[in-house]
Chain A
Amino acid sequence: QVQLVDSGGGVVQPGRSLRLSCAASGFTFSNYGMHWVRQAPGKGLEWVAVISYDGSNKYYADSVKGRFTISRDNFKNTLYLQMNSLTAEDTAVYYCAKRFDDSGSYYPAFDFWGQGTLVTVSS
């Protein structure tokens, strides 16, 4: 069965970096575009980034552009989110999510989500 396991969250000081991982199993990871979505405590969902099935195309929300980098390792079936220059506004649960189809489209229709990993940016 499909599983997405998010990890790498924790407490980090403002200005520092953190890398999140999403380990995928139960499907052909290299066929699917993948997204990161976050949710600040008590707030709504925010789309963060998307990467194409082969890693050749990446797109970001304005709020993270230039600071965050989405990447993937199709041999390790793992999605990553490198987060630099973190601020308190980046405090959130971060979810990876799998597109429901392998059409190559980027619109955020997901069939599976990770369980989320909490990032807390605080001094």
Chain B
Amino acid sequence: QTVVTQEPSFSVSPGGTITLTCGLSSGSVSTSYYPTWYQQTPGQAPRTLIYSTNTRSSGVPDRFSGSILGNKAALTITGAQADDESDYYCVLYMGGGISVFGGGTKLTVL
């Protein structure tokens, strides 16, 4: 059973830069997994930030960026703002129609 790993929590100061990662319990994440990142605030449906590793979804500011860093997918937020305080989820496409979400990262801005 493949597990997608994310940091459970992270904190960043306003104006700071942070990188969240998305890995695999076994193996390396590559662009072939089409890593996608979602942002979710409590009580709301998720919002797509980044898809296919590094493509920003429509309306997403360019301070959100995606990449592959080492053996993981990464979401970098530059110039963090108070309303970036949310849960962030990555999802990886395993092939054969199957996708797996990571457990999510709770980001605190303080």
Contact = CB atoms under 8 A, between A and B. Distances in A.
Given A44-B101, A45-B91, A62-B1, A109 B51 contact: yes
Contact of A109 (B48, B97, B104): B48
Interface residues of B, number: 25
Interface in B69-94: 87, 89, 91, 93
Contacts of A113: 45-46
A59 B100 CA distance: 12
Nearest to A35: B99
B91 A57 contact: no
Interface string A36-70: 01000000111100100000011101100000000
A49 to B, nearest CB: 9
Interface residues of A, number: 25
Interface in B30-51: 34, 36, 38, 40, 45-46, 48, 51
Interface of B: 1, 34, 36, 38, 40, 45-46, 48, 51-52, 57-58, 87, 89, 91, 93, 96-104
25 contacts: A37-B101, A44-B89, A44-B101, A45-B38, A45-B91, A46-B101, A47-B91, A47-B98, A59-B97, A61-B98, A62-B1, A95-B45, A100-B48, A100-B51, A100-B57, A106-B93, A107-B34, A107-B93, A108-B36, A109-B34, A109-B36, A109-B51, A109-B52, A111-B48, A111-B58
Given A108-B93, A113-B46, 7 more contacts: A100-B48, A100-B51, A107-B52, A107-B93, A108-B36, A108-B91, A116-B45
